[in-house]
Amino acid sequence: MPKIRVLVVDDHTIVRDGICALLRLAGDIEVVGEAANGREALEMVRKLMPDVMLIDIAMPNMNGLEATRHIRKEFPRVKVLVLTQYDDKEHVFWAIEAGAIGFISKTAASSELVSGIRSVYRGDSFLSPSAAKFLVEDYQLEASIRKEQDPYKQLTDREREILKLLAEGYNTREIANMLVISTKTVEGHKTNLMSKLDIHNRTNLVKYALRKGIITV
């Protein structure tokens, strides 16, 4: 079975030596090259075409993020796994945005590094627990913001009631009789709710109600 060919990129020789020694203990991983900065990494990738590039972020002569962008554009087959001391939300997002499919902190256990290399080699993403936590928190924040911005929340209780009845197929007069209000009042609520939802015909109103679970088929 072919080994996973890995290029190790870090500007500290002692760090590269330690990583390489660790990876050589894994029977299915082969370190095919080392580089001390982003520019060297690009040259090494062109020559060696590794399966996985393990790269730091803060380096001279082109940092890891810039090198990752170039690699992903020029050699999309090469999987990029970021290994860095920066364990914060910004660097996680910057790495993913640059094209890395894995992010591991240098404080991680050696077994986590090996697992990360194997995962990205298979085409899966791999995030250290802290990085995954940042993504979950960011998603939850965005979901909360979207929920707060939901135009349905702008509707009054009466408008929601009339929206449901309209979507169920009742006309203005029937709704007025059911709610014991005038047809003019129903039309006023209908105009307001459609304006708030930015919906301008009954067909789209029904589709919206179905999507929101206000009515069922």
pLDDT (tens digit per residue) in 73-93: 999 999 999 998 877 778 888
The answer on 111 and 72 residing in a single domain is yes
| Residue 85 within any structural domain of the chain | yes
Give me the phi and psi of 199, to 5 degrees please.
Answer: -120, 135
The answer on 199 and 119 residing in a single domain is no
The answer on 137 and 163 residing in a single domain is no
Cβ-count burial of 13 within 10 angstroms (0-12 exposed, 13-18 middle, 19+ buried)?
exposed
The answer on 136 and 161 residing in a single domain is no
| Residue 192 within any structural domain of the chain | yes
Look at residues 141, 163, 196 and tell me which one is the last residue of a structural domain.
141
| Residue 217 within any structural domain of the chain | no
The answer on 27 and 81 residing in a single domain is yes
pLDDT band at 144 (very low <50, low <70, confident <90, very high): low
Q: CATH number of the domain that 46 lies in?
A: 3.40.50.2300
Split into its structural domains, the chain has a count of 2
| Residue 146 within any structural domain of the chain | no
| Residue 208 within any structural domain of the chain | yes
The larger pLDDT score, comparing residue 178 to residue 136, is at 178
The answer on 101 and 177 residing in a single domain is no
Rg (CA), the chain: 28
The answer on 114 and 61 residing in a single domain is yes
Q: ∠ at Cα 123 (96, 76), nearest 5°?
A: 65
Dump strand ranges (E) for the chain: 4-9, 29-35, 52-55, 79-84, 102-105, 126-127
pLDDT band at 8 (very low <50, low <70, confident <90, very high): very high
| Residue 66 within any structural domain of the chain | yes
Model-wide pTM > 0.75? no
pLDDT given for residue 152 in this prediction: 84
Q: CATH number of the domain that 166 lies in?
A: 1.10.10.10
The answer on 190 and 118 residing in a single domain is no
The answer on 168 and 137 residing in a single domain is no
Give the residue numbers spanning the domain of 176: 151-212
